[in-house]
Amino acid sequence: MMNETNQPSDSSWLVRLAQDQEIDRKSMDAFQVLRRVAEAIHSHDAQALLEEFALDDPRFNVFETSAPYRMSAEDIRGTADVLAALRDPDMRFDDVRFDCADAVAIATGYQVLRAGAKEIRRRYSSRFSLVMIPIHGRWKILHAHFSAIPGTR
């Protein structure tokens, strides 16, 4: 549930919009993809994470600075398994800017992932851009680009 400033109404936020960003109700469905991705990581649910991607669309692809190539749907399936196995994961999206039209939504911002036991907890931060399209009445990620922020991996 979002409050009047479009921020999560509880104190444990998963997605925080840029301070000057407001989104309308129509855009809220696409915005919820980010919350579901973070929640899937928190709950170790690889299948729920994969449901947020348009894996069957031939245009699907992901770029990430840690991979020297365009990641395929099969690569994402493997990545989802790895993310689901992380110890005590905490993923958040911050300073999110969001634009939505009838057939495409674009989200940009920062992604922060922390994982591991307290004594060896690691933090990974990336800039991201996501392109989402509606498929059968539900927004899905068609393209993603993650660029690691230097010094955070």
Angle between helices 73-84 and 25-42 (to 10 degrees): 60
Query: What's the pLDDT at 6?
Result: 41
Of 93, 107, 94, 96, which Cα lies nearest the Cα of 142?
107
Domain for residue 69, yes or no? yes
Beta strands at 138-148 and 122-135: parallel, antiparallel or unpaired: antiparallel
4 is a domain residue: no
Q: What is the CATH number of the domain that holds 57?
A: 3.10.450.50
Residue 84 falls within a domain, yes or no?
Answer: yes
C-alpha angle 99-140-18 in degrees, rounded to nearest 5 = 30
Please report, in angstroms and rounded to a whole number, the separation of the first and last CA atoms in the chain. 32
Structural domain of 114: 15-148
Q: What is the 3-state secondary structure (H, E, C) of 69-113?
A: CCECHHHHHHHHHHHHCCCCCEEEEEEEEEEECCCCEEEEEEEEE
Is residue 19 a part of any domain in this protein?
Answer: yes
Find the radius of gyration of the CA atoms of the chain. Answer: 15
pLDDT of residue 153: 58
Domain-located, residue 3: no
**Would residue 45 count as lying in a domain?**
yes
Which pLDDT does position 11 carry in this prediction? 36
How many domains would you assign to the chain? 1
User: Do the beta carbons of residue 65 and residue 147 sit within 8 Å?
Assistant: yes
How many of the other CB atoms lie within 10 Å of CB of 87? 10
Q: What is the spatial distance between Cα 115 and Cα 134, in angstroms, rounded to a whole number?
A: 31
Assess if residue 9 is contained within a domain: no
pLDDT tens over the chain, length 153 residues: 343 334 433 435 677 777 767 777 767 788 889 989 989 988 889 999 999 999 999 999 998 877 667 888 888 888 888 888 888 888 888 888 888 888 999 999 999 888 877 677 778 888 999 999 999 989 999 999 988 888 765
Is 8 part of a structural domain of the chain? no
